[in-house]
C-alpha cells in the first residue's frame, strides 16, 4: 500500500491510537507494524478477528489479557546457554500463567469465538515448567529456602552462624574493659561482616580490622579479632548460597531452552491476541462497525464520520461511488468540507483493509482496492524548484502511470495553481484518462468547466458541500447529484472585504459568460435541499403510521391476553374448589376413623377406602339437555374451553389421547369421550367470568405457606393403614403449595408398602403420573409423584 497516501490520509495517527490501547510491548509492536492489505482473504480474517473480539468485550464480564511481558530476549539468552537471572525467570513464570489463563478462557467458547479459539491452539502446555519455577519462587517472588536440599542446608547454616556471631559480638559489647572504646553500644554490618563502632582515638587500642569510617571521621567500624573466624565462616556460607542459587537458575534456564520454540510461539500468539482486542477496543471507542464487502466494486458509506475529528464536531456524510458512475466530482465553497469528505473516504478504506472497524452506519459497503493514490495538499519542493502546480502535476503523472481499475484515486483541487482555462482543460483530460482506466475516483474542484463536463459525461457525477447563504456558514453536508457554487463573494464579505471592492467584483462577474450557470446551480441546490426536508417529513409521518400500527397490534395482543387471564382465573377457582373438596373429604375420613377406633386395622382401612371411592363417585344432577353444536376433534387444542354434556358444565382440555380427552372442570380432572363434548356459548363463558370475579372478591381462602410444606415424606417402617393417611395429607399440602414432583420414601423391603401406596395413587384423579426414582435418588425405595 502507498506509504505517502497512508501519511497524508492520517493512517499513522490511527496506528498511534492503537498503540496506546495495546497493553503490552508485544501488542504495541504489532500495532506499529499494522498496514493495509490488498489480499481479500487476509482482510476477511483480520475483520473476523476484530468482530469476535468486539462481541467478546461486549458480552463477557472481563477479558483475560494484560500482564504479559516481552520474554523474547530472555528466551534468546536461554537458547545461547546464558544463565537467566531472577527477574527473567519470574517474567517467564508470570507469562506462562497468563498463557494458561487465556487458554482456559477460550477453552469452552468455540461456538462463540471460533476464530479466536483456533488461534489459541498455538498456546502450549507449560505445566511442568510452571511447577519447576513455582518450586523455586514463592508468591512474593522470593527464592524459597527449600528450592533445593543444598540451599535449605546452607540457609540453615547461615542462620545458625549469624546467631553464633551475634552472640560473640554481644559478649564483646558487654566487656567492661572495652566500654570506653565504643561510640555506640550496637552491632552493625559493613562489607557483609559484623562490626562495632569504635571512637577514633582508640583505634590502636582496640584489636580488630577497620572496615569503614563515619563521614565526620570520629567513628571507625572495626571487626573484632575475636570474631574474624566466625565472620569468615558466615561469609563462606553466604558464598555457597549464591553459588547454589546460580546452579538452580542454570537448571531453570536449561528447561526454558528446551521449550524455546513453544514459549516463543505462545508469546507471539498471546501478543497477537492482545493486539486483536486493542482493535476491538478502538472499534467500541469509535462506535464503529464492520462494513460489507461489495461484490459490485461499489463504495457505499452511510453516515461516514472522519475518525480523527471529535464525535461532537464531525458531520456524518453518505459517500457513494460506483454503479452508474465511477468518478465523483465535489464542488462547493472553501472550508466547506470537500477535502474532509475526500480524506474520510481514503482513511476509512485504509482502516478497513487493515482489518479495523470503521465509523459508518450499518449495511455500508466497500470493495477491496489494490492501492490508494492521493494528491491532496500543497507539497511544493523549493530544493527541486517545484511550484504548487508542478508538484500537483508530478503526483498526477505518477498516478496515471501506476493506477489500474482496482485502485482508488483521490485528487484535491484538480488542475489548480495555473491559468484557469489551461488548468480546467488539463483536469478534464486527466478525468477522461482515469475514467478510461476504470479506476474509482473522487476529486474536488472550483472550475465550472469540470462541472459541465461531469453533467455531460456518463459515468461522472457531480456533488457539492452545502453552504447556508442566510448564515454565511458551511454546513459540511455532502450532497451527491448536483454541483455547487464556490460562494467566494459571501465568504469574502464575512471575512471583512470592503463593500466597494465586493460590488465591483459582482459587477464584473455579472458580465461573465457562465453567470447564468451559477444562478441555476444555486436554484437547483435550494430545490434539492427543500426536497430533502420534505423527504425527512415524509419519513417522520411514516414512522408515526408505523407507531399507530404497532399500537393496534398491541391492543390486539391485550385482547388475547385478557382471554388467557379468564382461562387462568377459571383454573384458580377450580383449584380452590378442589382444595375445599379435599378438606371436606379429609374431615369425613377423620370422622370414620373415630367411629372405627375400636375396630381392627383391616376393617378400618376397608371403611376408609370405601369412603374415598364414594367421594370420588360424586356426580352432578342432570339438567334438561339442550342441543349444542358439536366440536371437530381434529381442531381441538390443549387449553381450549369446551362444554361437557354429561357434567353440564364448562371445562378446559388438558390432553388428547385418541377418542378420549382429559378435561379440567372446576378443579377436577376427568376423562370423557369425544362425543361427550360440545361448543360452549359465549354467554356461558362471560357468566363464568363474572362468577369468578365475584368469588375472588369474597373469598376467604388463604394459600398454604410454601415454606411450611415439605417436598418429600418418609413412611419407612409403617403399615399401609398407617402410611396411607399420612401420604394423603402430604399430597394435599404439596398440591396446594404447587409442588411437582414430590417424593414418597417407602423403602424397598418386601415391596408390600410400595404396592399399597401405588394402589392408592392409581385412584387419585389429581395425580397425572408416578414412577420410581433413579438409582442415585433411591431407586425402588422412592416414588416420584407428578400432579
Rounded alpha-carbon distances, angstroms, from residue 777 to 365, 440, 751: 59, 72, 17
Average pLDDT along the chain: 82
Residue 249 binned pLDDT confidence (cut-offs 50, 70, 90):
very high
**More confident: 712 or 506:** 712
pLDDT, position 359: 95
Which has the minimum average pLDDT: 155-159, 163-167, 644-648, 649-653?
A: 644-648
Is 333 annotated among the ligand-binding residues?
yes
Question: Coil, helix or strand for 767?
Answer: coil
Is 338 annotated among the ligand-binding residues?
yes
User: Mean per-residue pLDDT for 211-240?
Assistant: 89
**More confident: 591 or 679:** 679
Is 694 annotated among the ligand-binding residues?
no
User: Mean per-residue pLDDT for 428-456?
Assistant: 88
For the stretch 33-68, pLDDT in tens is 999 998 999 999 999 999 999 999 998 888 888 778
Which has the minimum average pLDDT: 142-146, 346-350, 511-515?
A: 511-515
For the stretch 488-546, pLDDT in tens is 656 566 666 777 776 776 666 666 555 445 555 555 555 566 666 677 778 788 888 88
**More confident: 186 or 609:** 186
pLDDT, position 696: 61
pLDDT, position 515: 47
Residue 702 binned pLDDT confidence (cut-offs 50, 70, 90):
very low
pLDDT, position 175: 82
SS3 per-residue string spanning 421-456? HHHHHHHHHHHHHHHHHCCEEEEECCCHHHHHHHHH
Which has the minimum average pLDDT: 93-97, 278-282, 322-326, 446-450?
A: 446-450
Is 336 annotated among the ligand-binding residues?
yes
For the stretch 154-198, pLDDT in tens is 999 999 998 988 888 888 888 888 888 888 888 888 888 888 898
Measured CA to CA, the distance from residue 80 to residue 651 in angstroms comes to: 87
Measured CA to CA, the distance from residue 31 to residue 21 in angstroms comes to: 9
Residue 131 binned pLDDT confidence (cut-offs 50, 70, 90):
very high
| pLDDT above 80 for 588 | no
Distance spanning both ends of the chain, measured CA to CA: 72
**More confident: 690 or 429:** 429
Give the DSSP letter string of 170-228: HHHHT-GGGGGGBSSS--EEETTEEEEEEEGGGTTTS-EEEEEE-TTSSEEEEEEGGGH
Question: Coil, helix or strand for 368?
Answer: coil
Measured CA to CA, the distance from residue 209 to residue 229 in angstroms comes to: 12
- Give me the phi and psi of 222, to 5 degrees please: -115, 135
**More confident: 153 or 562:** 153
Run of H or E residues at 254: helix 228-258
**CB proximity list for 95: less than 8 A, separation 6 or greater:** 68, 69, 71, 267, 270
Which has the minimum average pLDDT: 574-583, 653-662, 764-773?
A: 574-583
Question: Coil, helix or strand for 743?
Answer: strand
Q: Does the model's pTM come out above 0.85?
A: no
Which has the minimum average pLDDT: 258-262, 504-508, 741-745?
A: 504-508
Measured CA to CA, the distance from residue 198 to residue 175 in angstroms comes to: 14
**More confident: 692 or 369:** 369
Residue 216 binned pLDDT confidence (cut-offs 50, 70, 90):
confident
| pLDDT above 80 for 225 | yes
In order of their start, the domains of the chain are: 3-126+259-286 (1.10.1420.10), 147-249 (1.10.1420.10), 292-498 (3.40.50.300), 621-699 (2.30.30), 706-786 (3.30.1370.110)
* 615 cis-preceded (ω within 30 degrees of 0): no
pLDDT, position 385: 43
| pLDDT above 50 for 623 | no
Burial class from Cβ neighbours inside 10 Å (0-12, 13-18, 19+) for residue 34 reads: buried
For the stretch 481-490, pLDDT in tens is 777 665 565 6
Measured CA to CA, the distance from residue 700 to residue 691 in angstroms comes to: 15
Laid out side by side, the sheet with 641-644 consists of 668-673, 660-665, 649-657, 641-644, 677-678
Is 337 annotated among the ligand-binding residues?
yes
Amino acid at each position: 500500500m502507498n506509504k505517502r497516501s497512508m501519511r497524508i490520509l492520517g493512517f499513522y495517527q490511527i496506528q498511534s491510537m492503537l498503540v496506546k490501547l495495546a497493553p503490552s510491548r508485544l501488542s504495541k509492536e504489532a500495532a506499529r507494524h499494522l498496514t493495509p492489505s490488498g489480499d481479500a482473504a487476509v482482510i476477511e480474517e483480520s475483520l473476523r478477528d476484530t468482530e469476535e473480539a468486539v462481541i467478546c468485550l461486549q458480552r463477557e464480564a472481563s477479558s483475560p489479557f494484560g500482564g504479559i511481558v516481552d520474554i523474547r530476549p530472555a528466551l534468546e539468552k536461554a537458547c545461547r546457554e546464558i544463565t537467566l537471572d531472577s527477574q527473567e525467570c519470574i517474567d517467564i513464570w508470570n507469562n506462562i500463567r497468563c498463557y494458561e489463563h487465556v487458554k482456559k478462557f477460550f477453552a469452552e467458547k468455540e461456538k462463540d469465538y471460533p476464530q479466536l479459539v483456533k488461534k489459541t491452539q498455538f498456546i502450549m502446555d507449560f505445566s511442568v515448567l510452571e511447577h519447576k519455577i513455582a518450586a523455586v519462587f514463592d508468591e512474593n517472588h522470593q527464592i524459597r529456602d527449600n528450592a533445593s536440599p543444598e540451599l535449605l542446608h546452607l540457609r540453615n547454616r547461615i542462620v545458625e552462624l549469624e546467631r553464633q556471631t551475634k552472640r560473640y559480638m554481644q559478649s564483646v559489647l558487654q566487656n567492661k574493659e572495652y566500654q570506653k572504646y565504643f561510640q555506640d553500644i550496637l552491632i552493625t554490618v559493613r562489607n557483609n561482616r559484623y562490626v562495632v563502632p569504635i571512637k577514633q582515638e582508640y583505634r590502636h587500642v582496640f584489636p580488630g580490622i577497620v572496615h569503614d569510617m563515619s563521614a565526620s571521621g570520629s567513628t571507625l567500624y572495626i571487626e573484632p579479632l575475636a570474631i574474624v573466624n566466625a565472620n569468615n565462616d558466615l561469609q563462606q556460607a553466604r558464598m555457597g548460597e549464591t553459588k547454589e542459587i546460580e546452579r538452580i537458575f542454570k537448571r531453570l534456564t536449561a528447561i526454558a531452552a528446551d521449550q524455546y520454540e513453544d514459549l516463543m510461539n505462545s508469546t507471539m500468539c498471546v501478543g497477537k491476541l492482545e493486539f486483536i482486542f486493542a482493535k476491538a477496543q478502538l472499534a467500541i471507542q469509535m462506535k464503529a462497525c464492520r462494513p460489507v464487502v461489495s461484490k459490485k466494486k461499489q463504495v457505499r458509506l452511510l453516515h461516514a464520520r472522519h475518525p480523527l475529528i471529535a464525535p461532537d464536531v464531525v458531520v456524518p456524510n453518505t459517500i457513494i461511488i460506483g454503479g452508474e458512475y465511477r468518478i465523483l466530482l465535489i464542488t462547493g465553497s472553501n472550508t466547506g468540507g470537500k477535502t474532509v469528505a475526500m480524506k474520510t473516504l481514503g482513511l476509512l478504506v485504509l482502516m478497513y483493509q487493515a482489518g479495523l472497524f470503521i465509523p459508518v452506519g450499518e449495511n455500508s459497503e466497500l470493495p477491496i482496492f489494490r492501492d490508494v493514490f492521493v494528491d491532496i495538499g500543497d507539497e511544493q519542493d523549493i530544493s527541486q524548484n517545484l511550484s504548487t502546480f508542478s508538484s500537483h502535476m508530478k503526483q498526477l503523472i505518477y498516478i496515471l502511470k501506476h493506477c489500474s481499475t482496482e485502485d482508488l484515486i483521490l485528487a484535491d483541487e484538480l488542475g489548480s495553481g495555473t491559468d484557469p482555462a489551461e488548468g480546467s482543460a488539463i483536469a478534464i483530460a486527466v478525468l477522461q484518462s482515469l475514467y478510461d482506466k476504470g479506476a474509482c475516483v473522487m476529486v474536488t474542484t472550483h472550475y465550472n468547466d469540470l462541472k459541465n463536463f461531469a453533467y455531460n459525461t456518463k459515468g461522472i457525477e457531480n456533488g457539492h458541500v452545502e453552504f447556508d447563504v442566510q448564515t454565511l456558514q458551511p454546513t459540511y453536508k455532502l450532497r451527491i447529484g448536483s454541483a455547487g457554487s464556490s460562494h467566494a463573494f459571501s465568504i469574502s464579505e464575512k471575512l471583512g472585504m470592503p463593500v466597494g471592492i465586493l460590488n465591483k467584483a459582482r459587477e464584473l462577474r455579472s458580465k461573465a459568460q457562465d453567470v447564468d450557470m451559477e444562478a441555476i446551480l444555486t436554484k437547483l441546490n435550494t430545490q434539492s435541499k427543500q426536497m430533502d426536508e420534505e423527504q425527512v417529513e415524509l419519513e417522520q409521518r411514516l414512522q408515526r403510521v408505523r407507531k399507530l400500527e404497532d399500537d393496534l397490534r398491541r391492543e390486539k395482543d391485550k385482547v388475547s391476553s385478557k382471554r388467557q387471564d379468564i382461562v387462568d382465573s377459571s383454573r384458580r377457582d377450580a383449584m380452590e374448589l378442589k382444595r375445599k373438596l379435599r378438606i371436606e373429604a379429609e374431615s369425613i375420613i377423620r370422622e370414620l376413623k373415630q367411629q372405627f377406633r375400636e375396630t381392627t386395622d383391616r376393617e378400618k382401612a376397608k371403611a376408609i377406602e370405601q369412603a374415598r371411592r364414594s367421594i370420588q363417585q360424586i356426580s352432578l344432577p342432570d339438567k334438561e339437555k339442550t342441543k349444542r353444536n358439536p366440536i371437530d376433534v381434529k381442531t381441538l387444542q390443549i387449553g381450549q374451553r369446551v362444554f361437557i354434556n354429561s357434567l353440564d358444565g364448562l371445562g378446559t382440555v388438558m390432553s388428547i389421547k385418541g377418542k378420549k380427552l382429559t378435561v379440567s372442570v372446576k378443579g377436577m380432572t376427568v376423562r370423557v369421550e369425544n362425543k361427550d363434548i360440545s361448543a360452549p356459548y359465549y354467554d356461558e363463558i362471560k357468566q363464568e367470568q363474572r362468577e369468578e370475579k365475584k368469588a375472588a372478591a369474597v373469598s376467604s381462602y388463604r394459600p398454604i405457606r410454601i415454606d411450611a410444606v415439605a417436598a418429600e415424606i418418609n413412611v419407612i417402617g409403617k403399615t399401609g393403614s398407617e402410611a396411607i393417611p399420612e401420604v394423603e395429607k402430604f399430597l394435599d399440602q404439596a398440591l396446594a403449595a404447587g409442588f411437582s414432583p414430590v417424593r414418597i420414601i417407602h423403602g424397598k423391603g418386601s415391596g408390600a408398602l410400595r404396592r399399597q401406596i401405588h394402589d392408592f395413587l392409581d385412584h387419585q384423579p389429581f395425580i397425572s403420573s408416578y414412577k420410581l426414582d433413579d438409582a442415585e435418588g433411591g431407586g425402588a425405595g422412592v416414588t416420584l409423584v407428578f400432579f
